[in-house]
Structure 1
Amino acid sequence: MTLSAAPRLLLVHAHPDDESLWTGGTIARYAAAGVQVTLVTCTLGEEGEIIPEALRGLAVDQADQLGGYRVGELRSACAALGVSDHRWLGGPGRWRDSGMAGVAANAHPRAFAGGDPGEQVAALAAVLAEVRPQVVVTYGPDGGYGHPDHVRAHTITTAACAATGGVDRVFHAVTSRRATEEGLAALAGVDDLPFTLPPIEDLAVVDDALITTRVGVTEVVPAKLAALRAHSTQVSVWESAQGARCYALSDGRAQPIPAAECYVLADGDPTGADTDLFGGL
């Protein structure tokens, strides 16, 4: 990196755990290198399904306290990844997890996906103007897998970057189809895998021809795993004595831990960005 100013990376994610699932290795790598990393989370993740039986009383149809619990999970994940600057968009709880498309939570008066886009863009633009990141990361137009909050995060990030100016590159976090296929094939040879192996068609992956940037994260995988474990209501992490490792969400389907996290450059000069979000800047 040859930036004239200190490198600053800002990531916009929809719920607690998304930062670790989609970009945990990237965050840990750049934070360890001294990059100023700012994480913006748009909701508390109130609608998430809960894995541990003992915590299911937190669910939205019971005590409806999952969001507050996940604040603590995210705090621990940020510590594992090296994030010292975390922001809740609009303040903690300003917008609520909308749930998947077509569920009753979509109509909640504070649902993020149904909120005023202008207010949301203004809230994010204020953070961008303060932090002045050279690089911004969020999801693609489909939100990665269609979740309304992910789609809205993409929409407002795109608009806020355009309104604020000064951002050199905007990246969309994606998952490599080839790397996922290879990871699932390796897991198929593990005898004691506690999760099921999904067909590749059931996972949110993209054709590798679309990927512009691959950030190697092998050296920081322990940090990513620690962050994933911090989100214990949402994620189960498994490692074998032989070194195989993967995670599963509440559906119990194994997903590999990649050696590189992948991105599509949505805006900015691609020169030097093959393996480094800041490369060539």
Structure 2
Amino acid sequence: MTLTAPPRLLLVHAHPDDESLWTGGTIARYAASGVHVTVVTCTLGEEGEIIPPALSELAAGAADQLGGYRVAELRSACAALGVTDHRFLGGIGRWRDSGMAGVPANDHPRAFARGSLDEQAAELSAIIASVKPQVVVTYDAFGGYGHPDHIRAHEITTAAAGDVDRVFHAVTSRSATETGAAALATWDDLPWRLPEPGELPVTDDAEITTAIDVSEHLVAKLRALRAHSTQVSVWQDGARAAYALSNGIAQPVVQAEYYVLARGSADGAGADLFGGLD
């Protein structure tokens, strides 16, 4: 009898909640199908804005305990998505959330974005060498929306993942987002404001190479989003669902998650991250 190892997928994310927001449906889909899924988180998200007023004193400017709280949120989200292999880059707490560009947190001595790129890439290379994934996922060069930690995650993944079969950048589809936002506009009971045209970060569909159908895994994705209650609010009424970050802007829950192939063969990759690979 010949035993064949399952396919292996590794995702590199900047903060707790990014795995669920950007790739939650994809993670749940592949984990459910027997793929070995590894999630690498680069910081504890210490600089995040806190939604529940009762937890406001956890903030970086107060007790500075948000990072530890978000570790528990991340564990719950990973359980919801079916992830059993989660790792913090360099070990838990090695690098700190840098905050958005131009804020004082950028200058913290442990800020991820100001850390040694070579050291961070070496840590990620060691994980990749251990896991041996065929597919690696992270953000594009802009980090999706310009966050310094997302950009650094892109940089170290680009440096460390040279030997994997495929590298993908997680993006959001312009057409799917606009269609979803238009549907939100027909709901009169949403607790948040609607996004203005062009307010949500999107990628032109002509640039997207891969669309992963996650329609059968939205229950898991929404459960994972709810686990990140300091950062994400989820609204649901039957089949209707939306979410918002601390800015209170409603965002649609779409039926697919989208990627741009950055490295590797495109053959068979249109609807499956592993499509066409041996």
TM-score after normalising by structure 2: 0.98
C-alpha separation in 2, matches of 1:200 and 1:74: 31
Is residue 2:40 matched to residue 1:40? Answer: yes
Is residue 2:267 matched to residue 1:271? Answer: yes
Which of 243, 246, 250 aligns to 1:247? It is 243
1:194 to partner: Cα distance = 0.6
Residues 27 and 37 of structure 1 are in contact (CA less than 8 Å); yes or no, is this contact kept in structure 2?
A: yes
Which of 199, 205, 208 aligns to 1:208? It is 205
Ranges in structure 1 where 5+ consecutive residues have no aligned partner:
none
C-alpha separation in 1, matches of 2:43 and 2:197: 29
1:6 to partner: Cα distance = 2.1
Ranges in structure 2 where 5+ consecutive residues have no aligned partner:
none
C-alpha separation in 2, matches of 1:18 and 1:176: 17
Query: 1:200 aligns to what SS in structure 2?
Result: coil
Residues 187 and 244 of structure 1 are in contact (CA less than 8 Å); yes or no, is this contact kept in structure 2?
A: no
- State the partner residue of 1:18: 18
1:216 to partner: Cα distance = 0.2
Residues 212-239 of structure 1: CA deviation (Å, up to 9, x unaligned):
0000000000000000000000000001
1:244 to partner: Cα distance = 1.5
- State the partner residue of 1:237: 234
- State the partner residue of 1:150: 150
Sequence identity percentage: 72
C-alpha separation in 2, matches of 1:190 and 1:69: 33
| Alignment map for 1:112-191 (pairs within 5 Å) | 112-162=112-162, 165=163, 167-191=164-188
Is residue 2:213 matched to residue 1:198? Answer: no
C-alpha separation in 2, matches of 1:199 and 1:48: 23
| One-letter amino acid of the counterpart of residue 84, structure 2 | S
1:117 to partner: Cα distance = 0.6
Which of 249, 257, 262 aligns to 1:261? It is 257
C-alpha separation in 1, matches of 2:23 and 2:250: 18
TM-score after normalising by structure 1: 0.97
Is residue 2:213 matched to residue 1:219? Answer: no
1:5 to partner: Cα distance = 4.4
- State the partner residue of 1:92: 92
RMSD: 0.7
| Alignment map for 1:53-92 (pairs within 5 Å) | 53-92=53-92
User: How many residues get paired?
Assistant: 274
Residues 20-57 of structure 1: CA deviation (Å, up to 9, x unaligned):
00000000000000000000000000000000000001
C-alpha separation in 2, matches of 1:240 and 1:75: 26
C-alpha separation in 2, matches of 1:95 and 1:53: 27
Residues 22 and 174 of structure 1 are in contact (CA less than 8 Å); yes or no, is this contact kept in structure 2?
A: yes
Residues 247 and 255 of structure 1 are in contact (CA less than 8 Å); yes or no, is this contact kept in structure 2?
A: yes
1:73 to partner: Cα distance = 0.1
C-alpha separation in 1, matches of 2:148 and 2:197: 22
Q: Name the stretch that deviates more: 107-116 or 199-208.
A: 199-208
C-alpha separation in 1, matches of 2:6 and 2:276: 14
1:191 to partner: Cα distance = 1.1
C-alpha separation in 1, matches of 2:248 and 2:151: 24
1:68 to partner: Cα distance = 0.2
Query: 1:202 aligns to what SS in structure 2?
Result: coil
Q: Name the stretch that deviates more: 4-13 or 263-272.
A: 4-13
